Chains A and B, each alone.
Chain A
């Protein structure tokens, strides 16, 4: 399960309505650890994650995981920026990816109980998922991603709607997940969180990788002036 975790972006360009929203990007992603993608609103963070996951239509270039796209995707899970809830119960939302993978009922139910407890949704298993609060939806989306035991986990601002305590819980969960060998690629607007979780950082600006490096180096001494300004909380356009 641990192979195919390094991605190579080659001359990737995503254009929509004649506007380039990502690229051109040439970049070798780190093969393991937790990559945090930061950058201002509209910089292209979501587009980059979707591109890596193979759900964004590319205008040019390619993403190479070393295996065909759908094979790579099989070992990946993605938590979208706005959680997508199936119009079913919380339990059925969690079972869904497992039944797609052909898992038996008994094992699936065990996993559902395990993850629902872990993420604090055990009491809500029989509630309709679209009725959950914003933060609960986000937790459910995360549990539904983790329940498949992915080799690569994409998280697009997974803590955006969470309270302080939930954020701490999710962060320690993510640290565990990463220790057990899952590769994490995640965006966040919370620079404190980025410092806590990142092993390396990508700083996106206007659709391009403006700066990147190992977390320690990046936060201590970012090399581009825009990254310096961004870390200082100055507006970068």
Chain B
């Protein structure tokens, strides 16, 4: 109990003084997860939309695979990316292992299926609504995707935020491919794991509060956005 209490005090102090390590780690977390989010969104938003509007032979199979990938354990993703990027692996020459880039790659793999799947659900509904009109207006596939993405942008933002939430809180994969190297690949989650292991609860808790803060901001964002969506204001 005293551990927690002194931890809280120390954490508070780290926060109000903008502790340099804390700031550095937080910024790296944001950098890695936001990069992963942007890349994953660029892939997943058009992919999910495309799956909602195109009928092709293996569509159901692709959607099933997507949903299965959503449940991939991050540790396994980390392991696979590790094997691919390690010196003896196919992409070893790139020398990416234990860099933030490797962490971004792992997070992209983890959150792309999630964002694509949520996108697909939302876009299917909108497509059912717009279908006849867009066909009638002779739209190309690309125009259809653009229209759906534009008019469904709030739902897509929600999907992206869900992806971000998963990325920023993820620890298993980035621990493996990033290596949790100080001043290089250490982020909030891996630092918390490390400091807890070392028994430095103050720093661990301080990091934990920042992480919770980020998660809250994200959740609040989702809440506000989905409410404006429901009320149909835009």
Q: Is the beta-carbon distance between A70 and B138 smaller than 8 angstroms?
A: yes
List of B residues within 8 angstroms of A96 by Cβ: 137, 147
Give which listed residue, B136, B143, B151, contacts A78 with CB less than 8 A. Answer: B136
Stretch at the interface among B76-84, B127-135, B207-215: B127-135
Complex contact A73–B232 (CB within 8 A): no
Chain A contact patch, size range: 20 to 34
- B139 contacts A100, C-beta separation under 8 Å: yes
Residue of A nearest to B152 (CB): A87
Asked whether A80 and B137 contact (CB < 8 A) given A128-B232, A128-B234, the answer is: no
Which of B129, B138, B233 has its CB near the most chain A CB atoms (within 10 A)?
B138
Do B232 and A131 have beta carbons less than 8 Å apart?
yes
Chain A residues near B135: list those with CB within 8 A: 55
Q: Which residue of A lies closest to B129 (CB)?
A: A84
Of the candidates A74, A88, A130, A131, the one whose C-beta lies within 8 Å of that of B138 is A74
CB-CB under 8 A from A97, the residues of chain B are 137
Q: For residue B132, which residue of chain A has the nearest CB?
A: A80
Q: Is the interface of B mostly helix, strand, loop or mixed?
A: helix
Give the residue of B132, B151, B232 whose beta carbon is less than 8 angstroms from that of A55.
Answer: B132
A53 at interface (Cβ–Cβ under 8 A)? yes
20 contacts between A and B (CB under 8 A): A50-B132, A55-B135, A55-B136, A74-B138, A76-B136, A77-B136, A80-B133, A84-B130, A86-B133, A86-B147, A86-B151, A87-B126, A87-B151, A88-B151, A88-B234, A96-B137, A100-B138, A100-B139, A128-B234, A131-B232
Q: A86-B147, A96-B147, A100-B138 are in contact. List 10 more A-B contacts (CB 8 A).
A: A50-B132, A55-B136, A78-B132, A78-B136, A84-B132, A84-B133, A87-B126, A88-B151, A96-B137, A128-B232
Q: Which 4 A-B pairs have the closest CB atoms?
A: A84-B133, A78-B136, A87-B151, A55-B135
Residues of A within 8 A of B (CB): 50, 53, 55, 70, 73-74, 76-78, 80, 84, 86-88, 96-97, 100, 128, 130-131
